[in-house]
Structure 1
Amino acid sequence: MRAGWRRSFFGRSRALHGSSDTALRRLRLSPAAATMAAPRRLRHPWRKSGPQRTGVAGGCPMNPQPSVLVTGLGGTAGFWESISETLARSFRVLRFDQRGLAASTRGSAPCSIETLAQDCLSVLDEAGIAQAVVLGHSTGGCIALSLAQLAPGRVEGLILSGSWLKPSRYMAAYFGARRDILGSHPRAYAATSVLCAYPPAWIEANWPIYEAALAAAPLTVQQQSVMAERIDALLAFDGTGQAASLALPVLVLGARDDMVVPAFLQEDLAAALPGCAKTMLDSGGHLFPVSRPDAFTSTVADWISRLG
């Protein structure tokens, strides 16, 4: 693989080109095209953050623990912005835009949780990281679980946040309804990404979050196609078999007032992973890493620090 450097709002960011997935190395002119376009490198940016000081008493460790943050349905690195800055005080943090979103190209491989897990493995390869803690939120948790099945030796520990083992009927109905309005009412689709994901009082006090979601609504056919295939992928995921053979440290995180991925799904996930740690916040909604950042980052940092 060949890597280039470019600037981003987080300073120096390395742009990832290529993948271990053969299909990912070529980029179709159209997802529906029957033939492949001329070979092109897939641009797949990732951003990294690290400790400001190393090797000093009371500061960060000399060799900070690598941690990869995997976003959910939205798929962009920006979800972790404030969280990654906090975690980077103690760990080497990587986050990235998933295929077809923000600065990353779509590629040509069919979208599935397994494909997205392969992309995560490519990020680890390009960053030169042999093993990392993988933190996935929502759909990102499904991707993280698949990555652990795909390459268990590359995962030191798993943090499955607001995630699930297999979609429930409630989840299927919820995401099915969102998919139905995606093409005809994209702003309404974007509105549900906030209105259903946070406690109402928190939204009222943080109204710019809602306005930003509307401004970023998927208005183009290409944007809607990417979101639709991602919804299909998360609904098709079934990690039951993967959980049974998982043999590494796992932390399950959830919020009891989650209306997108209800808390009983995190309970089911934890029950399928004997010996895993579990923390359930009393409130925060589905996107509790954003609405409860202090509780989230302190729990994550404490758990990672206990590994090894």
Structure 2
Amino acid sequence: MIHHVLSGPPDAPVLVLGNSLGTTTALWDAQLPVFERDFRVLRYDHRGHGGSAPATGPFRLDDLAEDVLELLDHLGFARVSYCGVSLGGMVGMWLAGHAPERVDRLGLVCTTAVFPTARPWLERAATVRAHGTASIAAQVVSRWFTPGHPTAAHEAGLSTVDDESYAGCCEALAALDLRPVLPAIEAPTVLVAGRHDLATPPESLRAIADVVPGAALHVVEAAHLANVEAADDVTGILHDHLVGR
């Protein structure tokens, strides 16, 4: 069972928050005070991240999404809203497309349904297996934020992720193609792109919004971890969507 944290009113509707690759439940700290007003918030860590046990790759996105379904079943949550950043957003699209009865509302931040090529992810997996996550931390985190944003804590956090688990997640991203399931998403969906995001640029989210029925796209002044760098804007967009405004 992957590591998870529950907070907020016990009888409120459940909101699941999924993290980006290389981060933990702390990724959502800025959003918690607002989300916990209206939701029972469930945060979780991907395999080998934070408090979740290491696992041996390669993985597919299906495996990471099924970890979440297993967690929801364990906790007795039949239907939830879901917000995810990057890899967490990909898990959210998989869940909403493959198990639409489980997802009420969907929020996707700085994510994509497919990458142009698998090669960078396979190369990163090989580097991490050979030299560890610490060897890539500075380069990877530099792309998470616009210049001048503090990165030391995020680099330290990425360096603690289990090497094999991280490499396995990279292989899941290398094989990613969620385009076939996007038209099956029934949950009302909002997308947030970072205008300066090099990893999943706004056009990646526009491609999703164009296919998911009724989806709305917002662009904020941030790079890849927009919910950290533009926390107030992203919190407001997601919260308004989740409560049906």
TM-score normalized by structure 1? 0.72
SS at match of 2:48: coil
Query: Is the 1:49–1:85 Cα contact (8 Å) retained in structure 2?
Result: no
User: How far has the Cα of 1:233 moved from its partner?
Assistant: 0.2
| 1:163 has 2:101 as partner | no
Give the match for residue 138 of structure 2.
Answer: 191
Q: 1:131 to 1:193 in 2, by over 3 A?
A: same
Aligned to 2:44: 96
In structure 2, do the counterparts of structure 1 residues 85 and 111 end up closer, same or farther at CA, with 3 Å as the change threshold? farther
Residue in structure 2 matched with residue 302 of structure 1 by the alignment: 240
2:208 equivalent in structure 1? 269
Unaligned runs of 5+ in 2: none
Structure of higher CA gyration radius: 1
Check the 8 A contact 1:193/1:213 in 2, yes or no.
no
1:290 has 2:228 as partner? yes
State the shift of 1:150 in Å.
2.9
User: 2:35: which partner in 1?
Assistant: 87
8 Å contact kept, 2:58–2:169? no
Matched, 1:44 2:11: no
How far apart are residue 102 of structure 1 and its match?
A: 2.2
Residue 200 in structure 1 maps to residue 147 in structure 2: yes
Over 3 Å counting, the alpha-carbon distance change for 1:197 and 1:108 in structure 2 is closer
TM-score (norm 2): 0.89
Residues 108 and 225 of structure 1, relative CA distance in 2, 3 Å threshold: closer
Tell me: CA distance 1:75–1:112, structure 2 relative to 1, closer, same or farther (3 Å): farther
Q: Percent identity?
A: 27
For 2:133 and 2:57, how far apart are their aligned partners in 1?
25
For the 8 Å contact 2:188–2:215, the answer to whether it is kept is yes
1:75 is displaced (CA, Å) by: 5.0
Counterpart mapping for 1:146-185 below 5 A = 146-169=94-117, 172=118, 174-176=120-122, 178-182=124-128, 183-184=130-131
Name the SS of the counterpart of 1:248 in structure 2. coil
Matched pairs, number: 244
Higher alpha-carbon deviation: 124-133 or 75-84: 75-84
Q: Which amino acid aligns with 1:67?
A: L
Higher relative contact order (CA 8 A, sep 6+): 2
Q: Distance in 2 between matches of 1:85 and 1:284?
A: 21
Pairing partner for 2:156 from 207, 215, 226: 215
**Aligned-CA RMSD value:** 2.4
Is the 1:157–1:249 Cα contact (8 Å) retained in structure 2? yes
Counterpart-to-counterpart distance in 2, 1:217 and 1:65: 31
| Distance apart, 1:211 and its partner CA | 2.1
